[in-house]
Every structure is written in structure tokens, then in C-alpha cells.
Amino acid sequence: MKNKGLFFILTLLTAVLLAACGSDSEQNASGDDKKEDSAWSEIKEKGEIVVGTSGTLFPASYYPEDSNELTGYDVEIMREIAKRLDLELKFEEYGVDGILAAIKSGRIDMAINDMEETEKRAEEFTFSEPYKYSYSTMIVREDDLSGIETLEDLEGKVAGGAATTVFAQISEHFGAELKTYGNVTNDVYLRDVEQGRTDLIINDYYLQSLALKALPEIDVTLHPDLKFYPTSSSVVMPKDAPTLEEKVNETLKEMREDGTLTELSKEFFGGKDASEKPEEDIQEIEGLDL
């Protein structure tokens, strides 16, 4: 009887301990879920999403001449996302270098500014599925192509750009000196190339094509022979925000399937569909540490 009683007590204690462990585990899991979903919960609670963008990147995020209304491909995509998620939308403007820092500090909920996912960025941020596909090109002086025939000719040249972009890293990878700017408009970059203060600008094909079209009086051109580094652009969100990521991706998928992304792209990219991958033969860049 004594042994049976002892066995019963030990069994009961084991059951209690297992229940307690299970309860702690459930609480921890609940706590993790709460932490992971906090980004979306906070947005939903306030009914507003605060988004970082530059406001100076034509045609992704810019102010048309004589207008104080922010627009652009990226801006209108975000307006549609907010509308479909039943949220108010507020834009905060930052230079390219300040956008990611603003996400980390919590000053903004996410960012949209033609930003590409890289391995290093993915360690600190969450990226949506791409809403734009493109590749890199190079603006050079029209009369002599800035003395550049291949990417290797960037050695010793001066490239205009923002310090934390992929395009800046490509320039430096091939030996160019980088001249950085604050949150300036496209004409400042282009005139520096024209006047010899810089030699080139590496950036997105669509953005550079339209910048040149908008400023035909500046004597610069896209390099006719250099198409390299295929790219994609995504919405940038805080790390460990799975619900927010899911909501944004679901909405982008809807917009792709119902033709909204194509419609917006053609509106802002001269009738071209940047929401689909380009068919051109694009040069990959080996050894680029992103």
C-alpha cells in the first residue's frame, strides 16, 4: 500500500510539473506571437500606416512641377495597399541613407523607395515580394561616354550616388570614387556629370531613362552598351513582422493579378511594364558583396 501511495504521489507530481512546463511553453509561444505581430497590431490599432520615401526620386516618388502632391509609381502602389488594408496613410520624407534608420528606430512603419533586398539588408529588415523588376544602367557624358567602354573602366572615375545604395557599391566595386549627395533632385546629379564634377551615375534603367527624358537639355546619355546587375524593388518592413509581411504580400499579389501593378507601371514608366521581369540579356556581376 505504501509503495502504491508513493507511486501515486510521484505520478501526480510529474503530471503537475508537465502541466506547468506546458503552461510556460504556451505562455512563451503566446509572447513570441505577440512580439512578432506587434508591428501589424500597432498599425491596426492606430488605423494609420506611416511610410518613408524620398519624394525626390522620379518617377518612383516625387512632386510634379507646380504641385505639392506627392506621387509616383511607388507612392501610388503604397496608396493602393493602404486603401485595400483599410488604413489611413502618412508619408515621411527622408534621404535614401536615412530611410532604413527610420524603420529601425520606429519613426516609420515601412518604406517604399525603389529599394532592393540584399543579403546584408535582409539580416535587419523584412522585404516584401517584388513589385518592380529592372536592371542597372549608367549615365555618362554624351560626347565621349565619360571614357567608359566596360565596367572595368570605372577604375579612377567619380560616380555620383547615395552612400548606402547597391549602385554605390557597384561603383566602388569597380574602383570608382563615390561622390555622395543629400536628398537632392535628379537634375543635380545629371548636371554634375555634364560639367565633369562626376563621370557617371549608376542607377535603375527605368528611373534613369525617364530622368533623361524629363531633362533633355542636359548633355548626358545612357551608356549604349552596358546593361548589368538585374534588380528588383520591394517594400521594406521591420524584421520579425510576419503578419505585416503577409498583409503586404497578399495585397501586392491581388494588385498583380487584377492588373493594378501593370496599369500603374505603364502610367509612370512611359507605357512600359516594370512589374514583370525584363527579357534583355543582363550582365551579372561576380564577386559583389551585398
Extents of the domains making up the chain: 39-132+233-268, 134-230
According to the model, what pLDDT value does residue 33 have? Answer: 44
Long-range contacts at 250-258 (CB < 8 A, ≥ 24 apart): 251/80, 251/81, 251/84, 251/85, 252/77, 252/81, 252/128, 252/129, 252/131, 253/129, 254/84, 255/77, 255/80, 255/81, 255/84, 255/131, 256/131
| Same fold? 39-132+233-268, 134-230 | yes
Residue 239 near residue 120, CB atoms below 8 Å: no
pLDDT of residue 290: 65
Question: Which of 45, 232, 264 shows the shortest CA–CA distance to 130?
Answer: 232
Residue 286: count other Cβ atoms within 10 Å of its Cβ.
6
Q: What is the pLDDT of residue 37?
A: 65
**pTM of the full predicted structure?**
0.74
pLDDT of residue 279: 87
Rg (CA), the chain: 25
CATH superfamily of this structure's domain 39-132+233-268: Periplasmic binding protein-like II (3.40.190.10)
Integer Cα distance of 114 and 224 in angstroms: 23
Cβ atoms 276, 256 nearer than 8 A: no
Question: Tens digit of pLDDT per residue, the chain (290 long)?
Answer: 444 444 433 343 344 333 344 444 344 434 444 444 689 999 999 999 999 999 988 899 999 989 999 999 999 999 999 999 999 999 999 987 799 999 999 999 999 999 999 888 999 999 999 999 999 999 999 999 999 999 999 999 999 988 878 899 999 999 999 999 887 888 999 999 999 999 999 999 998 998 899 899 999 999 999 999 999 999 999 999 999 999 999 999 999 999 999 999 999 999 999 999 988 889 999 888 76
C-alpha cell, 132: 518592380
Q: Provide the pLDDT for residue 128.
A: 98
CATH tag, 134-230:
3.40.190.10
Q: How far apart (Å, rounded) are the C-alpha atoms in residues 283 and 136?
A: 9
